[in-house]
Amino acid sequence: MMTRIVECVPNFSEGRDRSVIEDITAPIHRIPGVTLLDIDMGADFNRTVVTMVGDPDSVLKAAIECTLVAAKSIDMKSHVGEHARMGAIDVVPFIPITGVSIDECITLSERFAEAVSDTLKLPIFLYGEAARSEQRVRLPDIRRGEYEGLKEKLESKDWTPDFGPSNFNPKLGATATGAREILIAYNVNLNTDDKSKASKIASIIRTTGSLAKDQDGQKIIGKDGKPLRNPGKFDALQAAGWMYDDSTAQVSMNLLNHNITGLHQVTDTIRQEAEKIGLTAVAGELVGLVPLEAIIASGKHYHMSPESADESSLVDAAINGLMLDALGDFDPRSNIIEWAIMEAMK
Active site residues: 83
Give, in order, the Cα–Cα distances in Å from 1 to each of 56, 73, 291, 304.
14, 34, 18, 35
Instruction: Compute how many other C-beta atoms are within 10 angstroms of the C-beta atom of residue 230.
Output: 13
Q: What are phi and psi of 156, to 5 degrees?
A: -85, 135
Q: What is the identity of the amino acid at 133? A: S
d(CA 304, CA 249): 31
Q: Using alpha carbons only, how large is the chain's radius of gyration in Å?
A: 20
89: left (phi over 0), alpha (psi -120 to 50) or beta: beta
Q: What is the 3-state secondary structure (H, E, C) of the chain?
A: CCCCEEEECCEECCCCCHHHHHHHHHHHHHCCCEEEEEEEEECCCCEEEEEEEECHHHHHHHHHHHHHHHHHHCCHHHCCCCCCCCECEEEEEEEEEECCCHHHHHHHHHHHHHHHHHHHCCCEEEEECCCCCHHHCCHHHHHCCCHHHHHHHHCCHHHCCCECCCCCCCCCECEEEEECCCCEEEEEEECCCCHHHHHHHHHHHCCCCEECECCCCCECECCCCCECEECCCCCCEEEEEEEEECCEEEEEEEECCCCCCCHHHHHHHHHHHHHHCCCCEEEEEEECCECHHHHHHHHHHHCCCCCCCCHHHHHHHHHHHCCCCCCCCCCHHHHEHHHHHHHHHC
